[in-house]
Amino acid sequence: MEFVSALAKQVFEKVKGECGQPSEIEGLKLYASLEKVDLMPIVLQPSICFVLQAEKHVSTGKQTFVYSEDTYLINSVTRPVEASLLDVSQERPYVGFSLAIDQQMVGQLMMEMSPWQQEASSHPQRDFTQSTKMTPAIENVVTRLLGLLDNPMDRDILAPSIFRELYYEVLKGPGGGLLRNCVSNHAGANRIAPVVHYIEQNFERNLAIEEIANVAGMSASTLHEHFKQVTTVSPMQYVKSLRLHKARSMLSSGYQVAEVCYEVGYSSPSQFSREFKRYFGFTPSEARSLVSTIE
């Protein structure tokens, strides 16, 4: 089996054939796959994502973000996406990892960096997700972070400081605004970020557009316009998409269809089945038999 780096081999051996699993370091998740994936619906969490081998595409409506060994992905809010794995084979597997964004740590760093980054922090962000070129400094931090996996004492003592260093390097770079999206309310996408956070925390309820607009401090029509500019869909389309992606994930994990239906906010099983099939092309029952190959 071919690996482009010792790190890729190390992570692949840690995953042990499972597509995605938490590591011994809290917030760090490892991924590997021997199969190419053309399209898989997932719910992308606020995270910084790296590919150690192969290539990954994440699509959100009209946008597609590509990242591989020389780039990384920053995502600042929970959002439904379509993911693909390319340049993958049994001989050359996909290997990657993601780091959940610690909002408290990022917020603390932002305050400490503000005397030097006041101008940068005021720049509006127009999206929630961005693919950014890897830098030597970030590559160095990543190498040291993954080097902690095999030593429990190193993990417990050094991981927090290395996380902080990684966030620091990302905040200094062109993708830093995406991290600021997680904890700030600036112009552009940052104005919509609190709305998305509210939806992700309440999507299983019967949300009305008026309630969401009230959270945004906008009229329903103004919210609709700004929300669609950033996410390419309307607020209510986003609610439905998040519900259905969550349902897809639960069904793939073995939950019963009726249980999932009510858990994600549908009151009618027939409506749930109808909308699920229209969105994914197969029924909820069929989804339970499909095994996810990536998350």
pLDDT digits (tens, 9 = 90+) for 84-133: 999 999 899 999 999 999 988 998 898 888 887 665 544 445 578 889 99
Amino acid code (one letter) for 249: S
In sequence order, the β-bridge partners of residue 51 are 96
Backbone phi, psi, residue 85, to 5°? -115, 125
Q: Tell me the CB-side half-sphere exposure of residue 167, using CA atoms within 13 A.
A: 27
Was domain 1-184 assigned CATH 2.130.10.10?
no
- Stated length of the chain: 295
Cα 223 to Cα 217: distance, rounded to the nearest angstrom:
9
Question: Percent helix, strand and coil across the chain, each rounded to 5?
Answer: 50, 20, 30
DSSP state of 93: -
Which residues make Cβ contacts (< 8 Å) with residue 103, sequence separation at least 6? 46, 182, 183
pLDDT on residue 18 = 60
Cβ pair 79, 196 in contact under 8 A: yes
Cα 194 to Cα 243: distance, rounded to the nearest angstrom:
18
pLDDT digits (tens, 9 = 90+) for 32-76: 999 888 777 777 888 999 999 999 999 887 789 999 999 999 998
Q: Which of 67, 58, 74, 49 is nearest to 245 (CA)?
A: 58
Pairing of strands 63-67, 37-44: unpaired
Q: Is the pLDDT of residue 212 over 50?
A: yes
203-214 mean pLDDT = 92
pLDDT digits (tens, 9 = 90+) for 17-33: 566 788 999 999 999 99
In the structure, what pLDDT confidence band is assigned to residue 186 with cuts at 50, 70 and 90? very low
What class does CATH assign to 189-288? mainly alpha
Cα 280 to Cα 277: distance, rounded to the nearest angstrom:
5
Domain-by-domain residue ranges, the chain? 1-184, 189-288
Of 57-61, 219-223, 240-244, least confident by mean pLDDT is: 57-61
Q: Is the pLDDT of residue 204 over 50?
A: yes
Q: pTM for the whole thing?
A: 0.72
- Radius of gyration (Cα) for the chain, nearest Å? 20
Q: Which of 252, 195, 196, 204 is nearest to 78 (CA)?
A: 196
Other Cβ atoms closer than 10 A to 228: 16
* Average pLDDT over all residues of the chain: 86
pLDDT on residue 283 = 92
- Highest mean pLDDT range out of 162-166, 187-191, 264-268? 162-166
Backbone phi, psi, residue 67, to 5°? -145, 150
